Amino acid sequence: MTEMRGGLDRRSFLRAGAWGAAGVASARFLAACAPMPGAPASVPFVDDLWDCGVASGLHAPDASVLWTRCAPGATGALDVQWEVSESPTFAALVAAGTAVADPDRDGCVKVLAEGLRPGTTHWYRFRVGDRTSPVGRTRTPAAPGSSPGSVRLAAASCQNYQSGYFSAWADVAATELDAVVHLGDYIYESGSSRGGVRTDPVGEALDLATYRAKYRLYRSDPQLRAAHAAHAFVPVWDDHELVNNASRLTILEDPARAEAAYRAWFEYQPVWPIDGSRIYRNVRFGDLVDLSLLDTRQYRDAEPGAGVGVGGYLVPGGLGPEIYRPSRTILGVDQRSWLLDRLGAAQADGIRWKLLGNQVMLAPARLLDLDEPALRALNPDIPEHGGLYLNEDQWDGFQVERDTLLDFVRTEGVSNLGVLTGDIHSFWQAPLRADFDDPRSPVVGQEFVCGSISSVGFDAAGYELARSIGDVAKQLKPGFRFVDLARRGIGVVTCTPESAVVEFRTTTAAGPASAVRRGSVFDWRADTSRVDLTPG
């Protein structure tokens, strides 16, 4: 069998066609949020048999991943029945079967329900004897060759349990969606810190037991469970599922910890394995949306050490820092080839919108521009896009690979490329130019950084200061159309043949029932670089 990086082999995950994750304690929605039509019924907490909530995962037009955790299965093997229906009353079943919850998977159960109708809402549940889980709701993508009138996705990331409440998830649960794209930092591996809103009793996750405990803690949140019960998720990891600023080097230096972290992620997330630890994948919604999910962590080169700084550029013969090395990669060779192939195929197949689920910001955030004629006269060795960047953990740390991606989009005529990003606990929006140092270079895409569920960002220093810093950030060269560093929240993306409308929904995350505010809205007309902003 193909081994996962760090020595975790696939057989330990895949047994008898069923493996995986957590169960349903409650599909409760907040009283303040009216449930959407056909949403799972609100149910009280009955017992701790299904202690982590039900969930489903976006997979294929005719298949969905179904997931639960049966708590007694953590100590002894237990048969669990599952059922799928196109009716919330389960008047007729369209798929059913039996899976096993056992200690090897911490009582988790995951099944691939196949033979489902594309573009259709389904309801699912689990049974042990006469005890039934609450009901979950999922939706399959539209079939190949079909032309859906719209596709609506939520984009979310960064939900530090102790930093704030998961208020945004209640809004997600009550919103009509086709799926939820989770862009990573689903858990935070770090221990508790002072000043948190909630206590994280697990401490720092270092081994399989503590990583599993993190997922159980996060799934104890009723708002997160409600969102999982209401919609299919399509998740990818970022760094905190393992450790802050994780890279390929992190995995090589501590393979046991990486093995534990990634095993727990696969157990507790509603995703079906592809090949070892590969998580990058693609889902299409008819001819309207092609969604590619990236992994910008486990294949990336390590964050560079201290560069030579401004002085090194200005001294004749000085060397630029590591971020300009041509072979430096955030995706790895195989994933990069896969991504370019997917984008080219989506364009050739006439798919209207090409969306990337991407962990770290692609648009440049350059604090000081050194790629200027006067400075180049002092030192002709200044690299293309030379400058000082805000955060080299982002694509700014991988200059040549970013140019390769955006130049491919330009030369191949890939239209309507939208990048959905998480990671930095704030909202940003920017056009993407093939050459961001050339104002005449064509805009080849748009990026939307969709905030955080609860993780604190610049607002830790105060709301007004965060707003002031955001105003300055808009002026960076090449600049941003929108920056909000002060609020938490999500993005909601609605694609139609005519436009893609992105709404930033914000919340303070200050209390369990914090109100969600309908924020700024971006209306992007298809086949143009025009994005109309309505401030929120």
pLDDT level of residue 222 (50, 70, 90 thresholds): very high
Asked whether residue 52 is domain-assigned, the answer is no
Tens-digit pLDDT profile for residues 23-72:
222 222 222 222 333 333 333 333 589 999 999 999 999 999 999 999 99
Tens-digit pLDDT profile for residues 256-297:
999 999 999 999 999 999 999 999 999 999 999 999 999 999
Contacts of 450 (CB under 8 A, 6+ apart): 155, 156, 157, 183, 420, 421, 422, 427, 489, 490, 491, 504
pLDDT of 476 strictly over 60: yes
Asked whether residue 27 is domain-assigned, the answer is no
Closest residue by Cα to residue 308 from 300, 319, 298, 316: 319
Asked whether residue 33 is domain-assigned, the answer is no
Spatial distance between the Cα atoms of 195 and 94, rounded to a whole number of angstroms: 49
Asked whether residue 84 is domain-assigned, the answer is no
Residue 37: asked if its preceding bond is cis (omega within 30°), the reply is: no
Model pLDDT, residue 326: 93
Model pLDDT, residue 10: 29
pLDDT level of residue 249 (50, 70, 90 thresholds): very high
Is residue 165 a contact partner of residue 197, using CB atoms and an 8 Å limit? yes
Phi, psi torsion values for 517, nearest 5 degrees = -105, 130
Asked whether residue 146 is domain-assigned, the answer is no
Tens-digit pLDDT profile for residues 335-363:
999 999 999 999 999 999 999 999 999 99
Model pLDDT, residue 458: 83
User: Buried b vs exposed e over 364-403: b needs ≥16 C-beta within 10 Å?
Assistant: bbbeebbbeeebeeebeebbebbbbbeebbbbbbbbbbbb
Is residue 293 a contact partner of residue 282, using CB atoms and an 8 Å limit? yes
Q: Check residues 90 and 468 and name the one with the higher pLDDT.
A: 90
Asked whether residue 366 is domain-assigned, the answer is yes
Is residue 25 a contact partner of residue 52, using CB atoms and an 8 Å limit? yes
Which residue spans within 91-205 are E strands per DSSP?
A: 93-101, 108-114, 121-128, 131-132, 136-139, 151-156, 179-182
User: Buried b vs exposed e over 337-360: b needs ≥16 C-beta within 10 Å?
Assistant: ebbbebbeebbeeebbbbbbbbbb
Average pLDDT over residues 440-455: 96
Average pLDDT over residues 140-146: 97
Model pLDDT, residue 460: 78
pLDDT of 15 strictly over 50: no
Domain that holds residue 519: 156-536
Model pLDDT, residue 373: 87
Model pLDDT, residue 5: 31
pLDDT level of residue 16 (50, 70, 90 thresholds): very low
Closest residue by Cα to residue 25 from 57, 52, 5: 52
Mean pLDDT of the chain: 87
Spatial distance between the Cα atoms of 331 and 335, rounded to a whole number of angstroms: 6
Structural domain count, the chain: 1
* 129-143, 383-397, 423-437, 461-475: least confidently modelled range: 461-475
Is residue 504 a contact partner of residue 427, using CB atoms and an 8 Å limit? yes
Contacts of 101 (CB under 8 A, 6+ apart): 69, 70, 72, 73, 74, 77, 78, 80, 107, 108, 109
Average pLDDT over residues 431-457: 95
Spatial distance between the Cα atoms of 433 and 406, rounded to a whole number of angstroms: 7
pLDDT level of residue 7 (50, 70, 90 thresholds): very low
CATH of the domain at 203: 3.60.21.70
pLDDT of 234 strictly over 50: yes
Tens-digit pLDDT profile for residues 159-216:
999 999 999 999 999 999 999 999 999 999 998 777 788 999 999 999 999 999 999 9
Which residue spans within 351-481 are E strands per DSSP?
A: 353-358, 366-369, 387-389, 417-421, 427-433, 443-450
pLDDT level of residue 108 (50, 70, 90 thresholds): very high
Average pLDDT over residues 123-150: 97
Neighbours of 50 (CB within 10 A): 27
Model pLDDT, residue 477: 83
Spatial distance between the Cα atoms of 261 and 279, rounded to a whole number of angstroms: 14
Is residue 224 a contact partner of residue 216, using CB atoms and an 8 Å limit? no
Spatial distance between the Cα atoms of 101 and 86, rounded to a whole number of angstroms: 25
Tens-digit pLDDT profile for residues 289-309:
999 999 999 999 998 764 445
Model pLDDT, residue 327: 95
Is residue 443 a contact partner of residue 431, using CB atoms and an 8 Å limit? yes
Tens-digit pLDDT profile for residues 492-526:
999 999 999 999 999 865 666 666 777 899 999 99
Spatial distance between the Cα atoms of 84 and 59, rounded to a whole number of angstroms: 15
The type of residue at 425 is: H
